[in-house]
Amino acid sequence: MAGRFITLEGGEGAGKTTQIELLTAALRARGIDVVTTREPGGAPGAEQIRTLLVEGEPGRWDAWTEALLHTAARRDHLRATVWPALEAGRWVISDRFYDSTVAYQGYGHGLGVEAVERLQALVLGDFAPDLTFVLDLPIDTGLARAAGRGGTEDRYERMDHGFHQRLRNGYLDIARRHDHRCVVIDAAQSADAVHQQIMSVVDRLD
């Protein structure tokens, strides 16, 4: 069976990690060989870059430096983890991918969609996910969930309300512009209800 590349996207605390666990278990129960991974990170070099991005003060990088760091981590992640797995026929499920750079740096930080998409095309060519779930929920609900997670990786959660609003609108716009691969899911529902919707879409993958 050919490999598939599925990505989960959304703002802070949208429930991606929770849904990836449920989706992975459901696919493995069907005998599918699944690799789960995440961005920023997912490979040793990319995980080192992750630390620079998710810890520290919200303003420690300007928007372009941040976009370049995320994209450098992505290139390493693809080369070391994603492409070899897909070539081996495995399914890869990634917690975030390039839509995050378009949403966070393009819309959230105002670099603009066109500039960020050009950067992605330069570094990744025309490689794209087969299917992307955009988990959408009110900002305050997501931030409250994320706050419950604790830890030091809270740099983006501490960005201002306007940033999170641009992010949410940005994701909905990405989903509209790429409706051949993106599906928006109401992530304010219970984890089980979200999972059922995700599975009903995965079942339609050819």
Does 15 engage in binding with ligand T5A (CB under 6 A)? yes
Q: For the range 144-152, what are the long-range contacts, defined as Cβ-Cβ under 8 Å and sequence gap of 24 or more?
A: 144/13, 145/12, 145/13, 145/14, 145/15, 146/12, 146/13, 147/13, 148/13, 149/13, 152/55
Which span (22-30, 84-92, 119-127, 149-157) binds ligand T5A, by CB under 6 A? 149-157
| Chain centroid, CA 31 distance in Å | 25
Burial class (CB in 10 A: 0-12, 13-18, 19+), 108: buried
Does 7 engage in binding with ligand T5A (CB under 6 A)? no
Beta bridge partners of residue 186, listed in sequence order: 136
Cis peptide before 84 (omega within 30 of 0): no
CB of 31 to ligand T5A, least distance (A): 25
Site residues for ligand T5A, window 21-40 (CB under 6 A)?
39-40
**Could you identify the residue written with the tokens 């991005």?**
53
Question: Looking at 87, 125, 190, 203, which residue binds ligand T5A (CB under 6 A)?
Answer: 190
Does 75 engage in binding with ligand T5A (CB under 6 A)? no
Site string for ligand T5A, 101-140 (x = CB under 6 A): x--xx-----------------------------------
Query: Rounded distance, CA 61 to CA 57, Å?
Result: 9
Does 145 engage in binding with ligand T5A (CB under 6 A)? yes
CB of 194 to ligand T5A, least distance (A): 5
Residue ranges binding ligand T5A (CB under 6 A): 10, 12-18, 39-40, 53-54, 70, 96, 100-101, 104-105, 145-146, 148-149, 153, 156, 190-191, 194
